Every structure is written in C-alpha cells, then in structure tokens.
C-alpha cells in the first residue's frame, strides 16, 4: 500500500515526526519464565521449525527470524496499538524522531516566483535565530551558490556539508539586501516564536529533549516584548517526551500545580507537578490550535492549561487524537527496542481523553486544499484524461485552488478537468497535453505551496485563533 503525503508539508528543512507519550527509557531485570504448558509449546514449535521444517535450510538466520516474528506477535495485541517492538531500522527512526535535533540553519522555507528561498519559520536557538533572520526574509545566495539557479536538495546538501563553517548569506528584507555569516549547526526543530504587535505565536511541533528550555526562552521573549496574549499552535504535534510536557506546562501555569495524573495497572494514582526551575509567564489569554493529529504529550499540555487556567484558555480547530496512555522504552544491546504502555494519564481534574480526544471550544475546519492528501508521484506515473487514478482527486482540487475550471474533485480525471490542466500547462510553458506527468505534477505542487504560503488567510483555523487572541 502506498503511503499518502500531506500537501501541508511546506517545510523543506528539518522536519521531524514524533510519536507517543514517552517516559525516559528503562532497563528491566531479566525474568525467567516458568515451565508452563505454553512455554513448552513454544519451545517445541521453535525447535521443529529450526530442525525438521522443510524450509529450515533455505532461510538465512532462521532462528533469529523466528524469534523476531514471535516477539512481533506478542507486541501486536488488539488492546494496545501503542505497545510495539522495533527492529533495528524502526528503533533508529523512532529514537531519531524523539531527539528533535537537526543540522542546518534553523529555518523552514518555500520557493517564491524568483526561485529564491523565503523563510517561513525560524527555530529558537538556531544560527538563523541568533543572527536575527525573520519570516519573509528572501535568501538569495549562500556563498557563491545562487538559490534561484539550484534546487532545494542542492541547497540543503550544501548547508549540511558546511556544518561549523561560515556561510556568507545574502538575503532581502523589505526590498533591501543584507549580508550575514551563518554557521550551520545542530539545532532543535520543535519551537518557533513569532512576535506581533498585540500577540505572540508559538508553534510547537513536538516534545523533544530540548523543547522545554526552548519554549521557556520563547516565553521570555514574549514577556520582554510586553506580550500578554498567546496563540499556541499544537496542530500535527504527535507528542514526544512527557517530561517536556511538564517543563512546557511549567512556563504557563502556576508553580506547584498538577500537570497530569498517572494511573498504573494496579489503580494507583501519581500526581506529576510543575518543575520549579521554569518560571511562569502569565498570559491574559491563550488560544490553542489543535487538530486530529494533536496527540499524547500535546494533549497533556492542553489538559493542564484547561484545568489550571480555566477561561483564560480557548481551543480552536478540530477534535484531538485521543491518546491517553503513557509508554516507556526498553533498549536492547543489538539496537532494537521495545515500547510498552505502563499507565493511563488523566488531566489535573481527573478526565481521561483516551480514544476520545479534546473537543475544541471553537470548531473550525480547514478548506479542501489543506486536507487533501496524495500518493508519491514517480517518474513513470501519468494521470490521463477520462481515467480513474488515486491522485486524480488531489490533482483536481489543486487545479481548482489555483483558479482553473474543473467539474469534479474525485478520483475520476474528467475531460473538463483535463482541459483545465492543459490551460495550466500552457500558462507555465509546458506542453499542453492535458495529461499529468511528474514534471507537471511537481510544478503544480510548487504553485500550490507558493499560494498557500503567500495567502495566510487560507489557514482558517489560525485566522480564527488570531481573532480570538485579539479580542
């Protein structure tokens, strides 16, 4: 099955995906199983497959594969989708996702009509942040490498290859050219802070090891600017370390407050409190953006804010994911790992949102273009007119978004929509075939992403959150 991509992925540098509510990894004492009938059955089957099975001498490393498959079977129980065994590749990917660290300038960007790189976000404590780069700055060149003459992959490779070195960077701001030296390095890609005239915005993409201190710095920045209203964007934040949720909550709610409660398998409750080393920055109003991908530690933060700050907090968007359980990880010497559920968490007032999520105070759905997904397009792929194709829906939605006349937005690519595509191709110097190959698709995506970035009002959820914050 092909995996769908989201059109919202406009960040071309340093994107990380984060998983469930995770506590610090633990090492368990090895336990010896008793000689039960089940154990005897397992040993018998394992022995037969290794020695008497017809295919036993045809499979390389059979004993390891049998054990891996047995472990995988034990950790895929219907009751708990968040207890998992990770093979070596999966364990590396999961561990990497929780680190939150990347090498680069510390920005996300998009391409404008001049093929230059426009900054969309600047991450706290990155080299770009320290040098004062801001959203909408237009990067022209890095040393002798002109952005307009190179693709994104080339630029990113150049940046990573010059880690720790000065990169002479030219950029435009309000039509005026500036030059600065940026040193690519490691940064945490989880916290973005924007200061506006009468409100601040913090975009929190996940809960990594360093998110707490970066969030604290962001709040101090808002405090120094005299900001008393905050838009906190937790959309598509799948969680991460619960300790980071404790630290971040400590910057927003009063000291000695309960952030969440844990309930173990024996029914025992444990209160998790704010951290004393993080100072609370009081806000008159906090508007939280959430969606169906806001999960786990992000939901812990929502619960802590709602229960401790009451009417000060308003949530905007759609119902959150609903992951109300906590996991720990057990690393093994061969690089594999095991993640399992140890507790269910509750809000300070005792509410569990597991499999339910938080309903927003103000429900706002995004437009079709923001929620339409698609499958990765390969060189050989062509969407032909008068045909059914998995990506035809996205193709027609995007054409409609760019102002071309389509007559439908399902998986059937109609003749009318094909004529619309031909017009798009003609407008942008491509052969007007009316069929969509990879070259046409890539250009279409480029134009869609450009319009999304240059039309912030299309993000109806964010616009509503700003309106609420400014009341």
Segment 93-122 shows an average pLDDT of: 88
3-class SS at 247?
helix
Segment 359-364 shows an average pLDDT of: 98
| Nearest alpha carbon to residue 293 among 248, 241, 234, 341 | 234
Segment 251-270 shows an average pLDDT of: 97
The pLDDT tens digits for 41-64 are: 889 999 999 999 989 999 999 998
pLDDT above 90 covers a percentage of the chain that reads 79
- Burial of 177 per CB tally in 10 Å (0-12, 13-18, 19+): exposed
pLDDT above 70 covers a percentage of the chain that reads 93
Which pLDDT score, from 0 to 100, does residue 171 have? 97
Contacts of 456 (CB under 8 A, 6+ apart): 462, 463
| Nearest alpha carbon to residue 298 among 235, 217, 352 | 235
Which pLDDT score, from 0 to 100, does residue 5 have? 60
Phi, psi of 112 (to 5 degrees): -95, -175
Which pLDDT score, from 0 to 100, does residue 100 have? 73
Share the mean pLDDT of the chain: 91
Q: In this structure, are residues 229 and 470 in contact, taking their beta carbons and an 8 Å threshold?
A: yes
Segment 1-18 shows an average pLDDT of: 41
The pLDDT tens digits for 411-459 are: 999 999 999 999 999 999 999 999 999 999 999 999 999 999 999 999 9
Q: Which of residues 405 and 80 earns the better pLDDT score? A: 405
Instruction: Count the residues in the chain.
Output: 471
Q: In this structure, are residues 385 and 414 in contact, taking their beta carbons and an 8 Å threshold?
A: yes
E strands of 40-166, at which residues?
A: 84-86, 101-104, 107-111, 117-122, 138-142, 145-146
Task: Please count the CA atoms within 13 angstroms of the CA of 240 that sit on its side-chain side.
Answer: 30
| Nearest alpha carbon to residue 120 among 209, 15, 221, 219 | 15
């Amino acid at each position: 099955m092909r995996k769908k991509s989201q059109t919202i992925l406009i960040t071309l540098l340093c994107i990380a995906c984060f998983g469930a509510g995770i506590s610090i990894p633990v090492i368990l004492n090895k336990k010896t199983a008793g000689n039960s009938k089940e154990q005897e059955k397992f040993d018998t089957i394992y022995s037969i497959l290794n020695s008497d099975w017809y295919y036993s001498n045809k499979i390389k490393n059979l004993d390891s594969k049998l054990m891996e498959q047995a472990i995988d079977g034990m950790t895929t129980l219907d009751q708990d989708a968040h207890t998992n065994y990770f093979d070596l590749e999966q364990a590396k990917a999961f561990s990497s996702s929780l680190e939150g660290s990347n090498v680069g300038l510390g920005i996300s960007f998009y391409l404008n009509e001049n093929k230059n790189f426009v900054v969309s976000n600047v991450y706290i404590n990155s080299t770009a942040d320290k040098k004062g780069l801001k959203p909408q700055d237009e990067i022209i060149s890095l040393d002798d490498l002109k952005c307009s003459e190179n693709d994104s992959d080339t630029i990113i490779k150049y940046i990573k290859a010059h880690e720790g070195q000065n990169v002479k960077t030219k950029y435009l701001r309000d039509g005026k050219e500036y030059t600065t030296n940026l040193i690519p390095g490691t940064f945490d890609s989880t916290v973005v802070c924007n200061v506006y005239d009468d409100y601040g915005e913090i975009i929190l993409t996940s809960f990594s090891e360093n998110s707490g201190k970066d969030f604290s710095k962001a709040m101090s920045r808002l405090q120094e600017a005299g900001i008393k209203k905050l838009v906190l964007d937790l959309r598509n934040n799948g969680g991460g370390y619960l300790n980071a949720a404790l630290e971040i909550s400590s910057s927003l709610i009063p000291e000695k407050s309960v952030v969440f409660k844990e309930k173990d398998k024996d029914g025992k409750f444990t209160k998790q409190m704010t951290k004393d080393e993080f100072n609370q920055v009081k806000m008159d109003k906090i508007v939280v953006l959430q969606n169906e991908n806001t999960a786990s530690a992000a939901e812990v933060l929502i619960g802590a804010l709602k229960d401790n700050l009451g009417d000060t907090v308003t949530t905007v968007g759609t119902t959150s994911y609903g992951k109300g359980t906590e996991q720990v990880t057990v690393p093994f010497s061969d690089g594999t790992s095991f993640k399992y559920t140890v507790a269910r968490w509750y809000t300070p007032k005792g509410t569990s949102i597991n499999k339910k999520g938080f309903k927003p105070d103000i429900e706002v759905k995004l437009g079709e273009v923001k929620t339409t997904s698609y499958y990765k397009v390969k060189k050989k792929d062509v969407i032909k007119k008068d045909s059914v194709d998995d990506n035809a829906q996205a193709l027609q939605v995007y054409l409609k978004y760019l102002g071309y006349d389509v007559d439908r937005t399902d998986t059937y690519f109609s003749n009318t929509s094909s004529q619309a595509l031909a017009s798009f191709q003609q407008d942008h110097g491509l052969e007007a075939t009316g069929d969509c190959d990879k070259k046409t698709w890539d250009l279409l995506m480029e134009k869609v992403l450009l319009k999304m970035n240059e039309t912030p009002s299309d993000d109806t959820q964010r616009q509503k959150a700003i309106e609420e914050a400014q009341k």
